[in-house]
Amino acid sequence: MSNLRAYEPLKQTDSYDDVRSVPQPKRRVSRTAGFALLAVLGTIALSVFYVSPSHADKAAIHGKPLEQCASSLPPPAQPPAPNNVWAPLTVEEIVSIQKWLDEPARGLNLTKSDKAGLADNHIFLIDAYQPRKADALAYVENPLSALRPAKYARVTIHHGTVPVIKDYLIGPLPISDKSEMTELKDVYHRDEIPYHARGVLVANELAPLVLKIMAPLAEATEELFGTSALGLVNDTMLAGVSAPWSFDGTFRRAWVSWRRNVAGPWLHPLNFFQYVDMSGTDPAQWKLIKIVYNHQVFDSIDSFLDAFHNGTLQRLPERPDQRKDPSWSTRKRPNPEYRRDLDHLPGPRSVSFAGLRFRVDKELQYVSWLGWGLYLGFNRDMGLSLWDIRFRDERLIYELAPQEAIAQYAGNDPMQATTAWLDRFFGMGASVRDMLPGYDCPHEAVYLPAITHSGTGIIKRERAICIFEQDSGRPITRHTGYMKDEFGAVKGYVLTIRSISTFDYMFHVDGTIEIRLSASGYLQGGYWEPKQEGYGAQIRDTSMGSLHDHVINYKVDLDLVGLKNSLLRTTTAQEEVEHPWIEEDWGTTVIQQKISRSYIENEDDALLKYPNNFQGSYAIVNKGETNAWGSPRGYAIHPGYSPIYNTVVGSKRLLNNANWARYNLAVSRRKDNEPTSSSMWNQHLPGAPMVDFHKFFDGENITQEDLVAWVNVGMHHLPQAEDIPNTRTNLAASSFFLTPLNYFDTDVSLESINAIVLTAPEKTGDPFTFDDYGVKPANCVPEGVPDFEYSGLSAFTMDGKPAPPTSVEELRKQSELFHRIKVEM
């Protein structure tokens, strides 16, 4: 069982030990016999090393037998404070809040979420609410003398009897006679959260309505598409719904798009749509508004069937590609007979032979590495967040967290033309799944769990977050030279903290942080026909990938040498100057570039796009603190891969609910009542959102104030055949960097002793001498890689007891919500 240690719970008592063995005495043999023996033994040793996972007694380096490598568990961390004030709620805390709210004294008349109807009062969400920044900083800076901030929960209740949605703060926690319930309103720009903006109560909320619509259409759909939806186990049609469903909360209507019920259904659209009204709390009153088939509009089921029967319906051409084997949309290898050369061998993997170099406190969710240290948070809306990020004992960032992710589509059909997703609505944290060991993260990664609440219970993902260090394969700095101490390199190691398998926070040895997002998954496909030209790309005879933009917003609350910071703009431009001392051979005119620096003093001027040709940058600096050379200490915000903003401006479906997406970045004064750039309710309120980002910018001064940078990454996704079945993370990637700008007096990566300095030989023909600071490669036998296994999740009922096993179909419903609606009786 020793090879399972990679997945054992972290033990804070595990220590760092290098287990390299002591040299063994050598036996002398003749040179000829020795060479022959070495050749034979070398062949045998290499063969055994290759085929056997247990080769510690066979392998050797320089005659020294190799022993087992150091533990693959991280050494214990030493957090600056003994409590993580940004930690998510525990299972026990969620259960206690639920019980407290259920008490008659609260007067809420709650129905259990799994039993509730739309006209009932029920709890939609229980999540942690972050403390005031001043209280949190007072504690983490003086944990022995300052009080720990009181812990509060945010609770969302759907008051179906009114109907209205309300957010509440519950606390302090743990629940006691001091705990209170107050409505949370000061973070929103509307007094009430409209009920039509609510989240989905149950996964198949729309199933009864679509069954009522589709049952009379079964004969037609079988003839037109070879499919039907009657609520049977073997139904061959699935539905998906576009969004937003409302403009300002006064109605709730959506387009329903139909697909084949096969693997990867999003790539098998039927070009058949219904517009439905889901307004109000009585599903019996929900109704069909119109049907669209092949660009023909019908105002009822009867009018569509009349056209179908009397021959006036203009039918789509036959689609033989859709009637054949649909496995092209699966991840099955398309040509099992084809083998790439040497692909049968497992690829290289990263091993920390001397033991892991990062520290983890699993209970507090604290991580440290080579001078870096930070706490982790996690919530339902956006998942992983980073807090109190310090480097070399100085706080650089108070909060680094994703805020929202949009995807706005285009097309010549009702689904693509009306879709503008805001992923916070679905809950990116709630959508986190366990990482695949060896695929989503390296084999030696350390995993941390995450807990989220939903209407159906409490979910715990054991591998929601992974942490690993890797050699980037290139030095962070390097130079070849011949003067003393001029030639050398520093290794470019990077620590990555990852969630959702594609959200990366990457820490470098020079004080740089790279925030990178890469996407993979199925396209939202459409029906391909000539009328779709310009709105995507044909990926099969009658399927297309639809044109869309992805933009993801991050909150970066930098605190550089304190809370008083300013926004520095740096640009370069061409100039023409006269230099009278230049020789006449060239003339006295010089055309060159010059730097201009200025401070942006009003936040209304801080809605920003990167300079043309990237000639310049923006930085947060402290004008009152300088380095040794008189420059204000700060950090620059550098674009990385694909630094885009949203293409479309003015669409009613994304009018004011994602104003942040119009820019590359924006900087505002930090306020406790402006914690996020969006809210889950914004999805269905584009005309009157609960959080209107533009209202953060009200003419305030941003010189030497506590500032927040709101930074965007994303991609213009122009689909292509290679997106099938899933987009690739190497192309669908975007990033930005937070990097020192005169924050230090010199490059601090030179502090690392994982480095080398070479000295040129004094005598011609001699090798270079070098100093590697005594850090030698460790040679040992690494732990075996465990057999692959994927267990899914741990679920708890709202009383904290383990939930009974859930079927795959139920898991799929909860995961895909109205992206995949299967009709049920």
Rounded to an integer, the average pLDDT of 383-411 is: 97
Q: What six digits make up the tokens of 583?
A: 């020789």
If one compares 140 and 320, the residue with the highest pLDDT of the two is 140
Find the length of the chain.
825
Is the pLDDT at 164 greater than 60, yes or no?
Answer: yes
If one compares 799 and 101, the residue with the highest pLDDT of the two is 101
Residue 635 contacts residue 739 (beta carbons within 8 Å): yes
Taking the C-alpha atoms of residue 386 and residue 515, their distance in angstroms, rounded to an integer, is 11
Domain spanning 207-338+804-819: which CATH class is it, in words? alpha beta
Locate the DSSP E strands across 358-491. Answer: 358-361, 366-369, 372-379, 383-391, 394-409, 420-422, 446-454, 457-471, 477-479, 487-490
Taking the C-alpha atoms of residue 509 and residue 477, their distance in angstroms, rounded to an integer, is 11
Q: Counting beta carbons within 10 angstroms of the beta carbon of residue 442, is it exposed (0 to 12), middle (13 to 18) or buried (19 or more)?
A: middle
If one compares 154 and 1, the residue with the highest pLDDT of the two is 154
Mean of the per-residue pLDDT values of the chain = 89
Residue 670 contacts residue 769 (beta carbons within 8 Å): no
pLDDT at position 24 is 37
Q: What six digits make up the tokens of 319?
A: 């689609």
Q: Which residue has the tokens 């708890």?
A: 796
Residue 152 contacts residue 130 (beta carbons within 8 Å): no
pLDDT at position 15 is 38
Taking the C-alpha atoms of residue 377 and residue 497, their distance in angstroms, rounded to an integer, is 12
Q: What six digits make up the tokens of 517?
A: 């997002």
Residue 157 contacts residue 102 (beta carbons within 8 Å): no
Rounded to an integer, the average pLDDT of 782-804 is: 85
First-to-last CA distance in the chain? 48
Rounded to an integer, the average pLDDT of 341-352 is: 94
pLDDT at position 823 is 67
Contacts of 441 (CB under 8 A, 6+ apart): 435, 447, 466, 468, 498, 501
Is the pLDDT at 620 greater than 50, yes or no?
Answer: yes
State the span(s) of the chain assigned CATH 3.10.450.40.
91-184, 207-338+804-819
Q: Which residue has the tokens 């050494």?
A: 75
If one compares 522 and 658, the residue with the highest pLDDT of the two is 658
pLDDT at position 819 is 66
Where residue 59 falls among pLDDT bands split at 50, 70, 90? low
pLDDT at position 798 is 83
pLDDT at position 782 is 93
Is the pLDDT at 648 greater than 80, yes or no?
Answer: yes
- Start-end of H helices in 295-370: 301-310, 320-323
Where residue 734 falls among pLDDT bands split at 50, 70, 90? very high
Rounded to an integer, the average pLDDT of 252-266 is: 93
Render pLDDT for 494-535 as a digit per residue (tens, 0 to 9).
999 999 867 999 999 999 999 999 989 889 899 999 999 999
Render pLDDT for 208-236 as a digit per residue (tens, 0 to 9).
899 999 999 999 999 999 999 998 989 99
pTM: 0.91
C-alpha to C-alpha distances, 418 to 204, 478, 523, nearest whole angstrom: 21, 52, 16
Where residue 680 falls among pLDDT bands split at 50, 70, 90? very high
Where residue 820 falls among pLDDT bands split at 50, 70, 90? low
Taking the C-alpha atoms of residue 680 and residue 16, their distance in angstroms, rounded to an integer, is 44
Prior bond to 163 cis, omega within 30? yes
* % of the chain beyond a pLDDT of 70: 90
Rounded to an integer, the average pLDDT of 134-158 is: 96
Is the pLDDT at 245 greater than 80, yes or no?
Answer: yes
Rounded to an integer, the average pLDDT of 324-336 is: 88
Give φ, ψ of 424 to 5 degrees: -60, -30
Q: CATH classification of 91-184 is 1.10.287.3510, yes or no?
A: no
| Cβ burial 698-727 (10 Å sphere, 16+ → b, else e) | eeeebebbbbbbbbbbbbebebeeebbbeb
State the span(s) of the chain assigned CATH 2.70.98.20.
358-409+467-479+489-524+533-751
Where residue 390 falls among pLDDT bands split at 50, 70, 90? very high
Is the pLDDT at 810 greater than 90, yes or no?
Answer: no
Contacts of 36 (CB under 8 A, 6+ apart): none
Render pLDDT for 437-479 as a digit per residue (tens, 0 to 9).
999 999 999 999 999 998 778 989 999 999 999 999 999 999 9
Render pLDDT for 583-601 as a digit per residue (tens, 0 to 9).
778 888 999 999 999 999 9
pLDDT at position 584 is 73
Rounded to an integer, the average pLDDT of 426-430 is: 90
Rounded to an integer, the average pLDDT of 780-805 is: 86
pLDDT at position 205 is 83
Rounded to an integer, the average pLDDT of 256-275 is: 94
pLDDT at position 814 is 66
pLDDT at position 519 is 87
| Three-class SS state of 440 | coil
Q: What six digits make up the tokens of 733?
A: 């990637």
pLDDT at position 207 is 84
Is the pLDDT at 813 greater than 90, yes or no?
Answer: no
Q: Counting beta carbons within 10 angstroms of the beta carbon of residue 388, is it exposed (0 to 12), middle (13 to 18) or buried (19 or more)?
A: buried
Is the pLDDT at 812 greater than 80, yes or no?
Answer: no
Residue 434 contacts residue 790 (beta carbons within 8 Å): yes
Residue 126 contacts residue 380 (beta carbons within 8 Å): no
Render pLDDT for 10-39 as a digit per residue (tens, 0 to 9).
333 333 333 333 333 333 333 333 333 333
Q: Which residue has the tokens 């620059």?
A: 636
Q: Give Cα 571 to chain centroid, integer Å.
A: 31
Q: Which residues pair with 669 in a beta bridge?
A: 707
Rounded to an integer, the average pLDDT of 530-551 is: 93
Q: Which CATH number describes the domain made up of 358-409+467-479+489-524+533-751?
A: 2.70.98.20
Residue 92 contacts residue 799 (beta carbons within 8 Å): no
Residue 518 contacts residue 733 (beta carbons within 8 Å): yes
- Start-end of H helices in 108-197: 133-141
